[in-house]
Structure 1
Amino acid sequence: MSLNGKTALVTGASRGIGRAVAERLAADGARVAVHYSTNEAAAKETVEAIVAAGGQAFAVQAEFGTDSAVDALYDGLVAGLDGAGLDILVNNAAVVDYADGIEDVGPEQFDRLVAVNVKTPLFLTQRVLPLIPDGGRIVNVSSGVTWFAQPEITYAMTKGALNVFTRSLARTLGPRGITVNAVSPGITETDMNGWLQDPAAAARVAGMVALGRHGQSGDIADVITFFASDEARWVTGQVLEANGGLWLGPNER
């Protein structure tokens, strides 16, 4: 899949799935804007890794959940693009709060989760749409928690909202040939899921997955890159579960 001559913005790209996506898009030829919130050192490492591998990238900073986030990100993006448009937008950045159960969640937690996971992707997409040419690509990173239940109720609600956003936006932007899809990772090894470092926990997850292991960031990045490519030109408004066959049934025969 060639992305030569394309430009991309990946939010939350300094680590985890976002970093894997940025590196994969750059490896396929795209010039990538690596967004980060506060971890400048990690973003710098991502950019340096892309450049060392022969790709093109630059970092942009904006702290999602603050009033100035969209403006700050837009200004940094435009400066880095230097007159070019934006072909690919990957809305990946998100936060989780493990004290988000129905008995514990409070208004401040709720507002932060919604602000970062829903409000910012909505208004960032609105702001950069004039930069996206006809035939562009938007990919949102959802989560398997939209279909299996977990205690972190607000986080799951925000990802459900992102799925609705995906379908609605796909309908709206269809006449421009812009595809909008969501990738829904299953249980994936990221900083957010640090508990997978426990071998016993990893083994329990493996027992729930048809392919016998938990996911890696690269597994998700490859699927996102497909949606960003021309090969996915006839797919829009979809939420794809990338989870290795999570909970298809008992692994024992």
Structure 2
Amino acid sequence: MQTSKQYRLNNSTSLNVVSSGPSESPHSTIIFLHFWGGSARTYSTTIAHLPPSFNSKAIDFRGWGSSTGPQSPEEYSIHQLADDVETLIPKLDIKDFILVGHSMGGKVAQLIAGRKRVKGLKGIVLIAPAPPTSFELPGDMKAQQLTAYSSPESAEFVTKNVLSALELRQELVALLVDDMLKGNEFAKAAWPEYAMGEDVVEEVRKVNVPVLVIGGEKDVVEPIERLKKEVLANIDHAELLVVEGSGHLLPIEAPAQVASYIQDFVVKIDA
């Protein structure tokens, strides 16, 4: 059973949280953070493959999904997204938790883990994560990203030809495209404009909880070599698992395998 609830953080920002599973679970709560263009729904098929005894909470970042955000182009940085999650977690009435972050959400998860501002974090799972290093797109690629989610046609093209390596069912493509178009203009622009350029390496090198990195063998957005050089090299105790044949959209392309890796990670930590 899934339930959705809005949590008001301030006058401009409310975060939508989709909860699944029993509130009284024997396991740590899993908090899911989505990619640029996604929402809590990105994880729906992955969560469906987790045991029913697991409690999970998938968050819509500000400006995405059913969450609201300020009408300001400067208010969608990685630091601000991390601030939101850190403000939200004490409101969720949970004890121990594990962060799962995909792509942009993975960069947010790394920053939260490194800052250590919230009690109860037991570990992080990074799915095709954006590295903690600063990354600047070439001008033509930045222009392409700024218009990637501007129309149903462009969003579907990016989904099928850039983000995924496996053929997706059309209903999943439609869900992804709907989420991409639903993001507000400031949230859409922030990642290619400045958020991917944020350097959080100093904080991430302080991460001291268990870390699992899951990469897609055919991911062209965050290739395995970049994950090794820029994520694992900055978190020296992180473990890497590679999903064969998958691209960047691991929670959509390989939900059963991703869920299995998450389940094993949680059980190991809770033990």
Give the TM-score normalised by structure 1.
0.43
More helix per residue: 1 or 2? 1
Larger Rg: 1
> Which structure exhibits the higher relative contact order, with contacts defined as CA atoms closer than 8 Å and separated by 6 or more residues?
2
